[in-house]
Structure 1
Amino acid sequence: MIQNIEKKIKLALAISVGSFVTSLIIVGLTFVFAYSLVNEQRKNIYVLDHNVPVLVRQTEHGTNREVEYESHVNMFHLLFFTLPPDDEYIKNNLNKAMYLVDDTGLAQYNNLREKGYYNSILASSALLTIQTDSITVDENGHFTYYAKQRIERPTSIATRALITEGDLQDVSRTDNNPHGLIIKNWKTVLNKDLKYVEKKNF
């Protein structure tokens, strides 16, 4: 009788210890899985591409920095060259663009303003939009931007080829510069007419 009780006690103890150890293993595995899942999610970051969130992957060596390079260049050119006949909209876009470029961008803006470029857009009710063709960035951060610019006026539509180039430099990320990049030595390489079409008057 006593032996049966001792066996039952040992069995109960073995079951209790086994259950406790099993619970510890399950908790440990759950913790490891949860940690790895959270750590993996932290590698997912979103960047804004002209107010459109783009999911990119963060890695230890910044292998996806290329995505941000192209997005930054694209965002700057969209802001700088999208010009409707609206003075406040133009100023707002250009102010945003200036956070993404060094003084070479400001110099080009001032040059265009002094020549009356923006006033002529307002006076002629022109609508300027840009379509990105491609962006190349080399290992040193030097980029070349290829695009077509469409200039629509009440009487005509003109299409121009646009090529610019510059260098990208890492800076601190801010709300106004989410990619943490700045364009340096920016210049226009080509800006020529491709097509000119007069609108028909009915």
Structure 2
Amino acid sequence: MFTHLKNIETAFSHIKRFSLVLITANVFITCFVIYLNNQALRNAQQTVHILYNGKVLEAIAADRRVNLPVELRDHIKTFHEEFFNLTPDDDAIQKGITKALYLADESAKHQYDNLKESGYFNNLISANISQQITVDSTQLGGNQFPYTFTCFATEKLVRSSSTATRKLITRGEVRDLGQQSDHNPHGFLIQHWQIIANRDTLIK
């Protein structure tokens, strides 16, 4: 009789262990299926189908953080080009500066006011000087907003008789506005902007 009870107890113990293993396996499989489903859903949300010339093309939506350095550099480059590419025409100068000021805070307006008060723009117009800028490189610092930057550029002041070349270095920060617009496509704003150096290097 005791042997019979022992056998029943042993069988019950085996069934109990088997049930625990089965339940554990089911939980694991369920979690794995949920994970795969979430991955597939995430990939599907990042896939965009575009109809182009009657053909369906597939595009992948990337996380903005992947392209963030490229967007920051382009924003900084665009601002400097709008601010420093000048022609001897007051309306053209105002148009460029207005576009630049959409991309920066009052620190850029302060720099503009200083140049205007010193007669810089009037001198360009009266002497028929065209100013062209080429952004050579932009160094970004930090790993979160506001990102710091140092911009290195080359300026050319073209006169009818000569061309002067200057090295321009500026510094500032870029913060995220969280909203894009026609005037500010990247949705960034340059702040605490200052001109560190703007010196002649060559005249010919």
Same fold, TM exceeding 0.5? yes
Give the 4+ runs in structure 1 shifted more than 6 A: none
Verify: 1:191 aligned to 2:198, yes or no: yes
Root mean square deviation, CA, Å: 2.1
Number of residue pairs matched?
150
Q: Which amino acid aligns with 1:150?
A: K
1:40, 1:64 → 2: CA distance?
17
Query: Residues 54-88 of structure 1: CA distance to partner in whole angstroms, max 9, x if unpaired?
Result: xxx85346221111100000000000000011111
Q: Which amino acid aligns with 1:116?
A: G
Corresponding residue for residue 174 of structure 1: 181
Verify: 1:68 aligned to 2:74, yes or no: no
2:96, 2:161 → 1: CA distance?
26
Q: Does the CA-based 8 Å contact 1:158-1:195 persist in structure 2? A: yes
Q: Which amino acid aligns with 1:184?
A: Q
Q: Does the CA-based 8 Å contact 1:132-1:148 persist in structure 2? A: yes
Corresponding residue for residue 82 of structure 2: 79
Structure 2, unmatched stretches of 5+, are: 1-39, 50-59
Structure 1, unmatched stretches of 5+, are: 1-31, 43-56, 198-202
* Higher alpha-carbon Rg: 2
Corresponding residue for residue 4 of structure 1: none
1:152, 1:88 → 2: CA distance?
19
In the TM superposition, what is the alpha-carbon distance from 1:190 to its structure 2 partner? 1.1
Q: Residues 179 and 187 from structure 1, CA distance in 2 versus in 1: closer, same or farther, beyond 3 angstroms?
A: same
Verify: 1:159 aligned to 2:165, yes or no: yes
TM-score by length of 1: 0.69
TM-score by length of 2: 0.69
Query: Residues 88-144 of structure 1: CA distance to partner in whole angstroms, max 9, x if unpaired?
Result: 111100000000011000000011111111111110000100011101111241001
The secondary structure found in structure 1 opposite 2:197 is strand
Q: Which amino acid aligns with 2:136?
A: D
- Match for 1:149 among 141, 150, 155? 155
- The correspondence of residues 55-134 of structure 1 with structure 2, limited to 5 A, is 59-60=62-63, 62-134=65-137
Query: Residues 176-198 of structure 1: CA distance to partner in whole angstroms, max 9, x if unpaired?
Result: 1110100010001111110011x
Q: Residues 116 and 65 from structure 1, CA distance in 2 versus in 1: closer, same or farther, beyond 3 angstroms?
A: same
2:64, 2:89 → 1: CA distance?
43
